[in-house]
A and B are shown apart, each in its own frame.
Chain A
């Protein structure tokens, strides 16, 4: 394919996206080479579409069309608007690390408070460090696809956090991605290294500043969880209703770990969380819970690949979707059990609540089992709100919408209950409540 001729819908050459951004992309010449190669991969593949099996239900070519140009670095006015958004979306008590339009904002972040418990660099610093010959590795991942390649090519910033062995974080770390620029893209990539015997909660929030919309987010998180750690990783996607968010997680879990994941999708016109989790140490327990709250014509995709690479691990996935109007929820769950991974116990369950006749839920469970002594399974349900429950509530004085809201909250509540931290759980319930208020 002659890449020079590849054009987007607006007639812009695809390669413009990269060449016009190159001056702002940090890194030594070696890093630049990694970026260029990644962009060539993206150019060759283009946005994923329905003929790519992994993206069958989330055809970005049809849903998104083109990737918007890189957002400008935020000026002082943008940072001011971002500060408002941070105030509105901060989890009480959490240590905040704020990325505005893909650029780390030190003044909005709790850098000092975090310093006693974790080390922090920005991705920008790490990539620009000429002394680090392996800086290019920060842009490499074991699994890749077109959007991940694009992220590698275009990532402007992110956080590189390391929590030393034995540390008990006294407060959650909250990475807040704020968009202030309409019609632009932010590309971020963060590395989180959690040591052995660590207890930590990491939250990632995606929000818009004020009424800004029409932006795109492409985020990647590379997370290592050390042996015997107890870690919660929570993603709260509350982007503007016309935004696009594609997030990729790459997680490597050690031995004897308790690892809890929670994802909430409560915004964006088109979104996808794709998680690639490798259970690489024995006797670890993964609990993955998620809630997709979708209305209007929103499209929300949660795709999770859980790779049981070693024996004796347990994985539990429980996903719930609440789908209104003509929205579309996708859940793809794949459990891989490697030949050596005997005594694996992996289960996934999805439940969809359809609030309108035109709401759609697609569910694709896949089990790839290469060991013979395992217990794996999956299940799915889909249905409407129970009329008898609705009538009971109405007969007690609740108007239709309030009765529905109570039942929807109960439906998603079971998943939210899995969040151990009280303040954080309340924060998540607040997001769900705001979503309910937006329902027409």
Chain B
């Protein structure tokens, strides 16, 4: 069974259709890159998978491990193993990062019927994980993403990914707002989390990110559809020739 199956998905925002019948299959352990110009519907796809309000699915379906994802609330999807790394992680003043991480992890565990972490066990786990990702402890003491640089925000997303151990990670424009060093650090974190059980969907506008996170499959989106799929070679072609050739294909 595929991990994620998006079948002929049609999505509207207010009165405008953004996705016009998108199909995508992701299996365990695979790394997929979704590329496309601005406005092609890449972020919409990631938002619909994560369950962000404001999108109306008019047709098609999304199955996750065979279950209908669209019937689930966002928090249920998270507990089942869907993780969206946000393009712009929000700042939450007044909520300490540690409190947030513990509350979220225990909420997911509770939803799965697993025992919740005690405070000492949780602290131990966070220390291990943050150490393996080279995340400084003082970052964890601040409010969630408050005053974080772009790079720190993305590393906080990677930390959560490591902590929650999802089976599907969707990285939405992870490279936006990052300089090359920050990008490398964040990508190293993602690569460290790659496993035969965990799939990654990397959404990006530029080929640059794919130098660091090497995809098994590359899909080109245009005007709300996947117009071409291939291997990593396709990303390099795009870098050469741009998206214009696909505008007509859509």
State the A residues within 8 Å of B (CB). 386-389, 391-400, 402-403, 406-407, 409-411, 413-414
Contact = CB atoms under 8 A, between A and B. Distances in A.
A397 B164 contact: yes
Contacts of A392: 86, 89-90, 92
A410 B94 contact: yes
B53 A393 contact: no
Interface size class of B (residues with CB under 8 A): 20 to 34
B103 A398 contact: yes
B93 A391 contact: no
Interface of B: 50-53, 73-75, 77-79, 84, 86, 89-90, 92-95, 99-100, 103-105, 107-108, 111, 143, 160, 164
A313 to B, nearest CB: 29
Given A394-B74, A397-B78, 10 more contacts: A391-B53, A392-B86, A393-B100, A395-B75, A395-B77, A395-B78, A396-B78, A397-B107, A397-B164, A410-B143
With most chain B CB atoms within 10 A of its CB, the pick from A389, A410, A411 is A410
A410 B143 CA distance: 10
Given A410-B93, A413-B94, A395 B79 contact: no
Nearest to B109: A397
30 contacts: A389-B90, A391-B52, A391-B53, A391-B74, A393-B104, A394-B74, A394-B78, A395-B51, A395-B75, A395-B77, A395-B84, A396-B104, A396-B107, A397-B75, A397-B78, A397-B107, A398-B75, A398-B104, A399-B75, A402-B107, A406-B92, A406-B95, A406-B100, A407-B92, A409-B94, A409-B95, A410-B94, A413-B94, A414-B93, A414-B94
A202 to B, nearest CB: 27
B187 to A, nearest CB: 22
Q: Interface SS of chain A: helix, strand, loop or mixed?
A: helix
Contact of B104 (A389, A391, A397): A397
Nearest to A402: B107
Given A394-B51, A396-B160, A406-B100, A389 B92 contact: yes
A398 B93 CA distance: 17
A428 to B, nearest CB: 15
A381 to B, nearest CB: 14
Contacts of A414: 93-94
Given A388-B90, A389-B90, A410-B93, A394 B79 contact: no
Contacts of A395: 50-52, 74-75, 77-78, 84, 86
A366 to B, nearest CB: 29
Q: Specify which of B79, B93, B104 lies most central, judged by the most chain A CB atoms within 10 Å of its CB.
A: B104
A59 to B, nearest CB: 35
A395 B73 CA distance: 9
Contacts of B100: 393, 396, 406
A241 to B, nearest CB: 27
Given A394-B75, A398-B104, A407 B51 contact: no
A227 to B, nearest CB: 36
Contacts of B111: 397
B53 A406 contact: no
Contacts of A388: 90
A226 to B, nearest CB: 35
Contact of B103 (A387, A391, A406): A406
A437 to B, nearest CB: 15
A388 B50 CA distance: 13
A397 B79 contact: yes
